[in-house]
Structure 1
Amino acid sequence: MSSSSVPEIKPSIFITLSVNNSDGVRVTRTMRTTDKLRDLTSFYLAMVSAYGRGAGEGIFMHYGRIVSGERSPPDYDMKDGDEITFFMTSKRSEFVTLKIKGEHGCIFTRTMGLNDRMQDLTEFYYAMVPTAKYGRFMYNDMEVDGELSPSDYAMEDYDEITFFPNSKQSLFVTLKIKGAEDGRSFTRTMDRTGRLQDLVDFYNAMVPMAENGVFMYNGRRVIVLKSPSDYKMEDGDQLIRRQRDMFVTISVECMDIFRHTHTLRRTDKLQGLMVLCSSMVTKCGRGCSFIFKGRLVHGTQTPGDLELQDGDKISMFVLVCG
């Protein structure tokens, strides 16, 4: 057989995709563009199970769309290097037992709700060790945000948080505040226990044309009645001002068994959030209806369509799952 009869292999017939989850586990594989995505998802589940990282039940999503294993990459307009995210949907316990490792190797253990604030745990530590006045709580190389919950960090039983004491804090802290739209930045030193409202008022006075907006710190909206101390702010930390109408934070609740809070753009379709919440409550990821102010919510609608405001609640009702 002559070499001219050997079929040419073109790079374009292959694609490299990754699957990751909230724990940071990532599995990458190269496949043919004509292969079914079942090959990739089954490969991912087999890999994580083989190394004791059981994936459990879940759904695979690509840019807000649920991935079907019976389809191929072109069906979802996937490109080389794209990522697919795996969301766990298996029902978890409502509680988690965590450990805090403090100074001199002392370990304190406490059980708390998956949706309780982490601040409850840190305050428990300070009550147990009254000499530990200042410090940082670290989990997986991240500083723990007291306003988040164990569920936000995907914590599991007996995960460990480490307390690192700081030297005595100054009574004052120097902070920056920056406009996301115009990039203008201002710096001010203030009382560490003073209200952040004072800093916001200072910014509004410096930029009188600025309309009311929201102020973000480390990706979360700042409650201006709180203080820099409440947020564990340090010298040089920065607050970002964004237009109020760009984002909205809402919650989806299903009676007393489920509550999920989510921030999204007012122009984002609600389909992805609805599918995710349904999958967390029902194994099939379907069979739920969503109601806001007596009206049925459709996935094609956006927060802007429904005139949703920060703190609004969408009620979820579980139907018969066929």
Structure 2
Amino acid sequence: MISRTMRATDELQVLMDFYYHTVPVVPHGEGVFCYKGQVLDGGLAPGDYGMASGDRVDFFLEMRPDTFVTVTVRDARGPEVTRTMRMTDAMQDLFEFYFEMTAHVDGTFVSSNGWRISPDDTPIDLEMEGATCHDVYFEPSSKHNDPDAGPSRHK
């Protein structure tokens, strides 16, 4: 991970140039920078996107519409956490990111169709093709062993 502190009024191109200088194997101008699934415009500032201290910008060398999906974890008791990920990434990456961004330490993740999500599942396994944004729901550990929490995709 590369980290850079910026003012809310600095152009994001400063961050992009910093990335290219820090990672010389990536040709300048290649790839895309995304925030919460939205491709960033280098002429705009973090404040234009509503970014706060500690927010993360993702870089993707190649961006094909069918390669990435944006998943938002929703929790009635906590903040929403959004992450753009590859269709082939294990959901474990999303789980770890969610736990880093919230105070939760355990619970169950459930897809919008009611399936409990395994850490080994991928967005493809969860049939997230076709749309760019999908919701996943987090149920804190008090519901973790609840048989009514939703069926598992796995038999």
Larger gyration radius, structure 1 or structure 2: 1
Alpha-carbon shift at residue 255 of structure 1 (Å): 1.1
Alpha-carbon shift at residue 281 of structure 1 (Å): 2.6
The residue aligned with 1:288 is 107
Q: Which amino acid aligns with 1:249?
A: T
The alpha-carbon distance between structure 1 residues 307 and 152, as it changes in their structure 2 partners (threshold 3 A), is farther
After superposition, where does 1:199-214 map in structure 2 within 5 Å? Answer: none
Which among 80, 92, 110 is matched to residue 271 of structure 1?
A: 92
Q: State whether residues 278 and 288 of structure 1, in contact with CA within 8 Å, keep that contact through their aligned partners in structure 2.
A: no
The residue aligned with 1:317 is 139
Q: State whether residues 79 and 102 of structure 2, in contact with CA within 8 Å, keep that contact through their aligned partners in structure 1.
A: yes
Alpha-carbon shift at residue 152 of structure 1 (Å): 5.4
Note if 1:147 corresponds to 2:49: yes
The residue aligned with 1:80 is none
Alpha-carbon shift at residue 291 of structure 1 (Å): 0.5
CA RMSD of aligned residues (A): 3.6
Q: State whether residues 90 and 121 of structure 2, in contact with CA within 8 Å, keep that contact through their aligned partners in structure 1.
A: yes
TM-score between the two structures when normalised by the length of structure 1: 0.28
Q: Distance in 1 between matches of 2:11 and 2:54?
A: 12
Q: How many residues align?
A: 108
Q: Which amino acid aligns with 1:291?
A: V
The alpha-carbon distance between structure 1 residues 148 and 248, as it changes in their structure 2 partners (threshold 3 A), is farther
Alpha-carbon shift at residue 147 of structure 1 (Å): 2.6
Q: Distance in 2 between matches of 1:242 and 1:275?
A: 23
Q: Point out the structure with the larger strand share.
A: 1
Runs of 4+ with >3 A deviation: 20-24, 139-143, 151-154
Cα-to-partner distance string for 1:204-258 (whole Å, 9 max, x where unaligned): xxxxxxxxxxxxxx959xxxxxxxxxxxxxxxxxxx9943211111111111521
Q: Distance in 2 between matches of 1:290 and 1:151?
A: 27
Q: State whether residues 69 and 134 of structure 2, in contact with CA within 8 Å, keep that contact through their aligned partners in structure 1.
A: no
Secondary structure class of the residue paired with 1:275:
helix
After superposition, where does 1:12-161 map in structure 2 within 5 Å? Answer: 22=3, 137-138=9-10, 141-142=14-15, 144-145=45-46, 146-151=48-53, 153=55
Cα-to-partner distance string for 1:129-157 (whole Å, 9 max, x where unaligned): xxxxxxxx317954524235215547xxx
State the structure with bigger RCO (CA 8 A, min sep 6), 1 or 2: 2
Unaligned runs of 5+ in 2: 16-43, 145-155
Secondary structure class of the residue paired with 1:267:
coil
The alpha-carbon distance between structure 1 residues 279 and 288, as it changes in their structure 2 partners (threshold 3 A), is farther
The residue aligned with 2:74 is 253
Unaligned runs of 5+ in 1: 1-19, 25-99, 101-117, 119-136, 155-217, 221-239
